[in-house]
Structure 1
Amino acid sequence: MGRWCSRSPARQALRARPKHPCHPPHHTTVRNRLGRVATGLEKSRRASGDPVEAAPKGGLTVFLDGAHIRCRPEYQQRHLDLVVGKIESRNMCRRFGLVANATASPGSRMREELSDFGWKQGRLLTVISDGELALPNLIRNAIGGDGQVKHILDWWHISMRIRHVEAAVQGLVQIPGFTGIPVLFQRPAKSLRWWLWHGRARIAETYLKGLMHDSTRLAEEPLAVRTAAARVQARCETLYTYLANNMESLVDYGRRYRNGLPISSSRAEGSVDDIANARMGKRRRMRWSPKGAHRVAVTRAAVLDGRLTVANRKRAA
């Protein structure tokens, strides 16, 4: 029953579950059973001191992303922050999901997830996420001083901001009233991606400053040119601020890609679709309490990983 309720609302789970000769339970009973399943999963994780069957070799990589889900009005907040992601090693992976408001110590809950996967004190943890500081800080708080955390800024988010700069520059040089030299704008914009891909963030920042300076020199041009130049400057400032705030998380993405190492948090974004959007997405028009959303996320991750199987059938009943 816990598996069915993790996929669809309680009333739909009653209609979709296999028919049983006994009287069908009420949807509130189904929801309560889901809560017991999630609580049982967390208690078994805390009580389990046995090592995993095949301990993961090498460092672990944690892919993190966040999702906003609608909150019930009595909690006096519009959205709940749901943290989802995936822990991967060379030959193993594990999904997880948690709501920070539903637990007194999100770091301890995250530490339990890492320890249950096989993480040991002193092992390197590589965290890949976007520019949201709360995501890597969650891992840092989880391990405290017992290990090293290396945060890598997701390449996809960098690439999209570079594309915005390229599109703004292209729109500027194509305006009929533009009297500047197109190559002075096009060449720096096309070079940004190459420099950042090879880990030369300081050089990319120099090109961004040059683009912003050249855009301010078009203040005497016609209105259409000034508007396009202001758009270029705004896009450059957005990228510049994004890079400056995450300078320590920029790496040589080309080298990591050639070595077969991940450079994107796409695995975490896939977990957002599987855990959050599939059950708690905006299209479902449902509102959630922190505890209810947390229980659904925990059970949903266990179902997707195959951890809620025959061995846990008593707990899932």
Structure 2
Amino acid sequence: MDLWVRFCRACPTCEGLLPIKDYNQRNILTVFGEIPVRFPRLMVCQKCNPACCFTFSPAADICKDRATPELLELSAKLGAKFSYREASDLLATFLPDQSARTFTTLRNRTLAMGKRIEEAERHQSWFENLNYPDRTQYELALVGDPAREFVFNVDTAHIPMLKRYGGRTFEAVVGHCGRGGRGDPPGPIFAFEGTHPRELRAMAALALKRQGYADQGEITVISDGAECLKCLTGMLPQPVNHILDWFHISMKIQPLVQLGATAPKHLLSFEGRMERIRWRLWNGQAGRALSLIATVRRDLSRDPVPSIWAHRADKLLETLQIYITRNKGSVVNYAERYRDGKRVSTAPAEASVNRLVAKRFVKKQQMRWSRTGAHYLLKVRASVLNGDLSDRTKYEAPKQPIPGNIARFISPTPPLLKVA
């Protein structure tokens, strides 16, 4: 602190010493307890800026939250993993001079860390100009090179909302952006509250930046067919290939296959037809699969003896038919992608939803959340799972050079520029 005060006292214009108005004392929280620090308040140089008369504190540049970064990161990690009360009790058990802190202090630290992560991401998107040019044609595919493909695995989750906000749940987007084939690491997690296209586009651009995208390579989006996620294909550098998740297709066929085991005697071919529908969808033949579904539904409607079994089978077939019809253009040859070692499902995103959202927001800790609190906590929890919490808040925007004849405290607008 003393070294920083000595540096701040030097006037950048006349190289003189800034006058000291008075001294204050601030208690800075650390992992080893509370440390009192005495620091001065400095005044603006009256020789260089005679019209300005205000003071500033150098201590605000070092400890804005009156706590060290190590304590803030530790509080954020515990707050992202446990409930705020439990994390506060755990922190007070192992660290000195933390027993008097309430759980609201730890909650504020955790949400402040999430806000810093969001601000760093916003500055990075703005200053690094992450708008990639669209490609006019596909590049030559390299056989046996799954790392050439950039794959987005995205899924949505529902978080309980506070009752006073007038709703039961709100959506959150969880996804991965990685390279490589089936079985390789899916890439870092990104998560945020809501499904706003601007936020979705910014997170996708940052994810491509972290994976080393340089206007080369294939881009693929795998989702469950939700409209809010299908619009992601229009926000990425074109062309982009959208694939319907095979896991969701299989989960809609599996109840029909199980229902075929209890089919009546005059419908013994029902189970075999379901297997043929699965095979056609697995090989990318969505049109033939839809025609077979229509045929099976027509045969069920002609059954002279209506039954509960036929009504149940018809409802499941109708759900599958609507799902495939709405996403017919996203059904690809999954067998070919599987043989090439490429991804065909959003299994990593499904697992991340369970780790990121279900255990902290829904299942283990049944709480209700505001949109802002859930958004910031998702940022922190994703950074903790990625292991880069300390790196996500260190981005600094490039500073514009300040002319030597103008003090660094003020930067007046030239008259001609003000008129313009």
Q: TM-score range, shorter-chain basis? A: 0.7 to 0.9
Q: Confirm whether residue 159 of structure 1 aligns to residue 233 of structure 2.
A: no
Find runs of 4+ consecutive structure 1 residues off by over 6 angstroms. 312-315
Show the counterpart of 1:83: 173
Show the counterpart of 1:275: 356
Indicate the SS of the match to 2:343: coil
Contact kept in structure 2, 1:45 and 1:112, CA below 8 Å: no
Deviations for 1:25-55, whole angstroms, at most 9, x for unmatched residues? 221111111122112222223334689xxxx
Contact kept in structure 1, 2:222 and 2:245, CA below 8 Å: yes
Question: How far apart in 1 are the matches of 2:88 and 2:121?
Answer: 28
Aligned length: 296
Q: Confirm whether residue 105 of structure 1 aligns to residue 180 of structure 2.
A: no
Query: In the alignment, residue 160 of structure 1 is paired with which amino acid?
Result: M
Show the counterpart of 1:70: 160
1:8-157 pair list within 5 angstroms = 8-17=82-91, 19-24=94-99, 25-48=101-124, 58-90=148-180, 93-100=187-194, 105-117=198-210, 118-120=212-214, 124-137=218-231, 139-140=232-233, 142-143=235-236, 146-157=237-248
Length-normalised TM-score, structure 2: 0.65
The structural deviation recorded for 1:230 is: 2.0
Deviations for 1:236-255, whole angstroms, at most 9, x for unmatched residues? 11111111110011011111
The structural deviation recorded for 1:83 is: 0.9
Question: How far apart in 2 are the matches of 1:134 and 1:123?
Answer: 24
Show the counterpart of 2:341: 260
Q: What are structure 1's unaligned runs of at least 5 residues? A: none
Question: How far apart in 2 are the matches of 1:239 and 1:115?
Answer: 33
Query: In the alignment, residue 105 of structure 1 is paired with which amino acid?
Result: R
Length-normalised TM-score, structure 1: 0.84
Deviations for 1:177-228, whole angstroms, at most 9, x for unmatched residues? x4x2523x3332221111111111111112111111111111x22xxx5222
Two-structure CA RMSD over aligned residues (Å): 2.7
Show the counterpart of 1:300: 381
Q: What are structure 2's unaligned runs of at least 5 residues? A: 1-74, 130-145, 396-420
The structural deviation recorded for 1:122 is: 7.0
Answer 1 or 2: higher relative contact order, Cα 8 Å, separation at least 6.
1
Contact kept in structure 2, 1:46 and 1:112, CA below 8 Å: no
User: 1:245–1:314: structure 2 CA closer, same or farther, 3 Å change rule?
Assistant: closer
Show the counterpart of 1:4: 78
- Larger CA Rg, structure 1 vs 2: 2
User: 1:212–1:10: structure 2 CA closer, same or farther, 3 Å change rule?
Assistant: same
User: 1:141–1:22: structure 2 CA closer, same or farther, 3 Å change rule?
Assistant: farther
Query: In the alignment, residue 172 of structure 1 is paired with which amino acid?
Result: A
Contact kept in structure 2, 1:96 and 1:113, CA below 8 Å: no
Contact kept in structure 1, 2:78 and 2:87, CA below 8 Å: yes
The structure with the greater share of residues assigned to helix is 1
Question: How far apart in 2 are the matches of 1:62 and 1:196?
Answer: 22
Contact kept in structure 1, 2:259 and 2:313, CA below 8 Å: yes
Contact kept in structure 2, 1:197 and 1:254, CA below 8 Å: yes
The structural deviation recorded for 1:69 is: 1.0
